[in-house]
Structure 1
Amino acid sequence: MATCRTCTACALLPSPLPPSFLRFPARRAAFSVRPLSQPLRAGRPRLQAPPPPPPPVEEVAEEQDATPPLRLLEPPQEDDPFPPEMEPADPDFYRIGYARMMRAYGVEFLEGPDGMGVYASRDVEPLRRARVIMEIPLELMLTITQKKPWMFFPDIIPLGHPIFDIIESTDPETDWDLRLACLLLYAFDVEDNFWQLYSDFLPSSDECTSLLLAPKEDLMELEDQDLASQMLEYQQRAIDFWQKHWDKAIPLKLKRLAPDHERFLWALSIVQSRSVNLNMRMGAFIQDANVLAPYADMLNHSPDANCFLHWRFKDRMLEVMIKAGHAVKKGDEMTLDYMSGVNSKFMERYGFSSPINPWELINFSSDAKIHMDSFLSVFNIAGLHHELYHNSALPSVPTDFVDGAVVAAARALPTWSDGDVPAIPSVERKSAQVLQEECRQMLDSFSTTIQQDQEILDSDVHISKTREIAVKYRLHRKLLLQKIIDSLDIYQDRILF
């Protein structure tokens, strides 16, 4: 997924507890959070046993001599200042016992239009190699392998605890999210565990946008029967799992993890919307694992992402890196590409959609087709069918019109192609008009108009998060249909004779 980069592990020295406020609030999800006047520190003080005395200075010096740290990861010095584009966002680390620490460079965590996000705190010039902006050690993550034998990190489940029997009962092929949700719930119950602290900054059930938490009436607002039915099945799957293991006489140490099915649904929604899959070394094995990575989970999705994740095997560190050749301006949002998929897939797992998703599809039933090469040339769209992009360097229609929705139109519209055979303008216009009429019929099939949906979202009347994202989803489908209609108007005006 990414290019490798050599780094050494941090020396694990005891230190006093950090100040009593967190540097980094939580992630991407569109929940209401007060804008921060300054970044929060990473951690709150908790009572714990005093650390043992530090190792002898000779041993520390000997270990450091064997693996000298890279200069970019050293604290700033007057005679060799830290590169400005890599200035640490927080020189302090969050420590739990002797756990290693998370660090961020040149970024800040702020509230944006889609909730909490990661933003550049200074300009970064494009370089020929990737640039690290975050380092999250394995000790702060919740990790479970995808295949048996189950291996966890950190290994916080004691022998004989009933939560392991629940994890063991899951299907290895399909239930990765159920296993990770169980591990997350258990971590919340472990005293002084990092996730017990980090949970204060996760969205609550009222703030979470996952459709797993949506009542049936909110799912009907989607006006997408297939998606609504799918989410009802997912909800029932989670409830059945909870009833099988929790809705009975069980020990209190297990009951308190998920006293009701709403608690389990919330944990499952957190897992699905914030986890990543990594190929990582677990003991002597290299396995695929599902991981909840704090701080990195605040990176929002973009099809034109400027960051990627890289797992550093040597010292078990997850790096967030700026892609090579990408210039980043101060205030730009740092984003990841979650996956290439239609909006319904994003809604299933993450609880969001986009009106300019370049992978969105519309199913046309008409036999009408337009000439593919002619349509692409009008909007300066190039590349193979699965790699289409807008070449903004060439003059064409106004650049503020061409976006991901036009690229989606190029993929979704029925097209024909026969080498260099030009399109016949009169036939092309007729085909375009037929396709436009089908788009208008699709728009008329909705119970509301674009303007009415926008009024619902802009009104002062409080609506639940799940209803809000359901209205946004159907609005985004309508906006795509309208964009296709407008694109076909421009296409008809620009067909070459």
Structure 2
Amino acid sequence: MEAADPDFYRIGYARMMRAYGVEFLEGPDGMGVYASRDVDPLRRARVIMEIPLELMLTITKNHPWMFFPDIIPLGHPIFDIIESTNPETDWDLRLACLLLYAFDVENNFWQLYGDFLPSGDECTSLLLAPKEDLMELEDEDLSSEMLKRQQRAVDFWQKHWHKAIPLKLKRLAPDHERFLWAVSIVQSRSFNLNMRMGAFIQDANVLAPYADMLNHSPDANCFLHWRFKDRMLEVMIKAGHAIKKGDEMTIDYMSAVNSTLMQRYGFSSPTNPWEHINFSGPAKIHLDSFLSVFNIAGLHDELYHNVALTSGESTFVDGGVVAAARTLPTWSDGDLPAIPSVERKSAQALQEECRKMAESFSTTIQQDEEILDSDEPMRKTREIAIKYRLHRKLLLQKIIDSLEIYQDRILF
């Protein structure tokens, strides 16, 4: 990991952005935010970043469209394009138009910050993926959905960036690749924020510089907070979280399966606790028995690993095992106990179904890892597509291993 360019800090600090106890580091997979010192757990949340409203790009989620800060002058044709969008579905197209316009406004902060955003070749968004890269996903539903989304953005650009448009509009997105890039930046780096502005509370779609460098984790240690008195976005460490120097600072983008994360953000995870596998067989295992074997507690939508009950330094239980607990077919009938011999038979049937699903892929885990580890130049979109199918297979293997442990530990 390398430290970010000093100019990355300089352009923000000159405009009242502040960061406390964190640093921005750049690696092969992009930029992230890391702790530059230890932080003891506190009973109250602690601020690590402040971003003033003046640096952000925001559009209200509901009509009439309002912008904070309002950088679009009266009568500019970009507003007519924003006005023509579907209020229910086209939030990303509106924010992409605003982003492209901000790049064109003289002395606007985003002209400088844009130099630190990933280029088209560096973006992992599947909106920029050619059809052959989408085929690497080996997920028909996801690839067809992304082709539809690509076509939607291209159709929007063709409708509004025709030959007769004025130059001040044409230069914002001279080709559809530029517009696709802007939409991919918006989808992967924006978030929804409830902002109080004076007497009004506005729900807005927001692009916030610096805060957009925070990566995702289902077990995030930070969250976003709007400080209305001076119109400042705060990034705060959650109360009770101990931070060690070098730890990555993360926020939780959403609780969703990998295919949804790929559609919106262009990444997946082998330890995503919300990932789902469709089982078609009749076999089921006893829910409470499976949870107790791995010390998993909580309701179905709030499952977590109870580390306090775990003896030794076991690292087997992760998000993949929690996902297995959610996605495996289970049964529960009050106080009726599980019969070990029946449970083992059901677990073996589920293992066999997982093996068949893994064998349906054109490559194995080892082959995918060899492709990713090779020195051969590879497009980012192809790399992320291969990782997606690899993560699917790793989860299937994790479920197989979990069921093996379950069979060993279930009481006679």
Q: For this structure pair, what is the TM-score category when the shorter chain's length is used for normalisation? A: over 0.9
Instruction: Specify the alignment match of 1:134 in structure 2.
Output: 49
Instruction: Specify the alignment match of 1:42 in structure 2.
Output: 9
Aligned AA (2:13): F
Q: For 1:180-195, list aligned pairs within 5 A.
A: 180-195=95-110
Q: For 1:3-402, list aligned pairs within 5 A.
A: 35-36=2-3, 39-40=6-7, 42-43=9-10, 93-95=13-15, 101-112=16-27, 114-282=29-197, 284-395=199-310, 399-402=314-317
| Deviation at residue 396 of structure 1 after TM alignment | 5.3
| Deviation at residue 341 of structure 1 after TM alignment | 0.5
Bigger shift: residues 274-283 or 167-176: 274-283
| Deviation at residue 43 of structure 1 after TM alignment | 4.0
Aligned AA (1:302): S
Instruction: Specify the alignment match of 1:17 in structure 2.
Output: none
Would the aligned equivalents of 1:380 and 1:396 in 2 still touch at CA under 8 Å?
A: no
| Deviation at residue 39 of structure 1 after TM alignment | 4.8
Would the aligned equivalents of 2:4 and 2:26 in 1 still touch at CA under 8 Å?
A: no
Aligned AA (1:483): K
1: CA distance, partners of 2:209 / 2:75: 28
| Deviation at residue 153 of structure 1 after TM alignment | 1.7
Question: Which has the larger helix fraction?
Answer: 2
- Secondary structure of the residue that 1:152 maps to in structure 2? coil
Q: 1:113 to 1:306 in 2, by over 3 A?
A: farther
* Larger relative contact order (Cα-Cα within 8 Å, sequence gap ≥ 6): 2
Would the aligned equivalents of 1:453 and 1:471 in 2 still touch at CA under 8 Å?
A: yes
Instruction: Specify the alignment match of 1:467 in structure 2.
Output: 382
Would the aligned equivalents of 2:223 and 2:237 in 1 still touch at CA under 8 Å?
A: yes
Q: Deviations over 1:351-376 (max 9, x none)?
A: 00000000000000010000000000
Q: 1:244 to 1:222 in 2, by over 3 A?
A: same
| Deviation at residue 115 of structure 1 after TM alignment | 2.3
Q: Deviations over 1:9-53 (max 9, x none)?
A: xxxxxxxxxxxxxxxxxxxxxxxxx82287545345xxxxxxxxx
Aligned AA (1:126): P
Query: Which structure's CA Rg is the greater one?
Result: 1
| Deviation at residue 395 of structure 1 after TM alignment | 2.9
Would the aligned equivalents of 2:157 and 2:176 in 1 still touch at CA under 8 Å?
A: yes
- Secondary structure of the residue that 1:159 maps to in structure 2? coil
2: CA distance, partners of 1:39 / 1:356: 34
1: CA distance, partners of 2:20 / 2:4: 19
2: CA distance, partners of 1:113 / 1:477: 22
Instruction: Specify the alignment match of 2:411 in structure 1.
Output: 496
| Deviation at residue 399 of structure 1 after TM alignment | 2.0
Q: 1:43 to 1:209 in 2, by over 3 A?
A: same
2: CA distance, partners of 1:280 / 1:272: 20
Aligned counterpart for 1:482 among listed residues 397, 404, 407: 397
| Deviation at residue 228 of structure 1 after TM alignment | 0.4
Would the aligned equivalents of 1:39 and 1:108 in 2 still touch at CA under 8 Å?
A: no
2: CA distance, partners of 1:495 / 1:112: 44
Q: 1:209 to 1:37 in 2, by over 3 A?
A: closer
Would the aligned equivalents of 2:4 and 2:24 in 1 still touch at CA under 8 Å?
A: no
Would the aligned equivalents of 1:305 and 1:337 in 2 still touch at CA under 8 Å?
A: yes
Aligned AA (2:397): Q
Q: Deviations over 1:126-182 (max 9, x none)?
A: 000000000001000001111121111221111111101000000111111100000
Identity %: 85
- Secondary structure of the residue that 1:423 maps to in structure 2? coil
Aligned AA (2:2): P
Aligned AA (2:119): S
Q: 1:257 to 1:405 in 2, by over 3 A?
A: same
1: CA distance, partners of 2:201 / 2:391: 41
- Secondary structure of the residue that 2:309 maps to in structure 1? coil
1: CA distance, partners of 2:50 / 2:313: 40
1: CA distance, partners of 2:352 / 2:320: 18
Q: Deviations over 1:50-99 (max 9, x none)?
A: xxxxxxxxxxxxxxxxxxxxxxxxxxxxxxxxxxxxxxxxxx8223xxxx
1: CA distance, partners of 2:88 / 2:197: 19
- Establish whether residue 412 from structure 1 lines up as the match of residue 332 from structure 2: no
1: CA distance, partners of 2:324 / 2:150: 33
Q: 1:431 to 1:41 in 2, by over 3 A?
A: closer
Would the aligned equivalents of 2:56 and 2:208 in 1 still touch at CA under 8 Å?
A: yes
Would the aligned equivalents of 1:157 and 1:164 in 2 still touch at CA under 8 Å?
A: yes
| Deviation at residue 384 of structure 1 after TM alignment | 0.5
- Uncovered stretches (5+) of structure 2, i.e. residues with no partner: none
Would the aligned equivalents of 1:378 and 1:396 in 2 still touch at CA under 8 Å?
A: no
Would the aligned equivalents of 1:392 and 1:399 in 2 still touch at CA under 8 Å?
A: no
Would the aligned equivalents of 2:4 and 2:25 in 1 still touch at CA under 8 Å?
A: no
The TM-score normalised by the length of structure 2 is 0.97
2: CA distance, partners of 1:396 / 1:205: 48
The TM-score normalised by the length of structure 1 is 0.81
2: CA distance, partners of 1:488 / 1:357: 18
Would the aligned equivalents of 1:379 and 1:396 in 2 still touch at CA under 8 Å?
A: no
- Uncovered stretches (5+) of structure 1, i.e. residues with no partner: 1-33, 45-91, 96-100
2: CA distance, partners of 1:280 / 1:403: 35
- Secondary structure of the residue that 2:168 maps to in structure 1? helix
2: CA distance, partners of 1:385 / 1:397: 26
2: CA distance, partners of 1:129 / 1:281: 22
Number of residues of Structure 1 aligned to a counterpart in Structure 2: 412
2: CA distance, partners of 1:271 / 1:43: 24
Instruction: Specify the alignment match of 1:65 in structure 2.
Output: none
Q: 1:247 to 1:399 in 2, by over 3 A?
A: farther
Aligned AA (1:210): S
| Deviation at residue 248 of structure 1 after TM alignment | 2.5
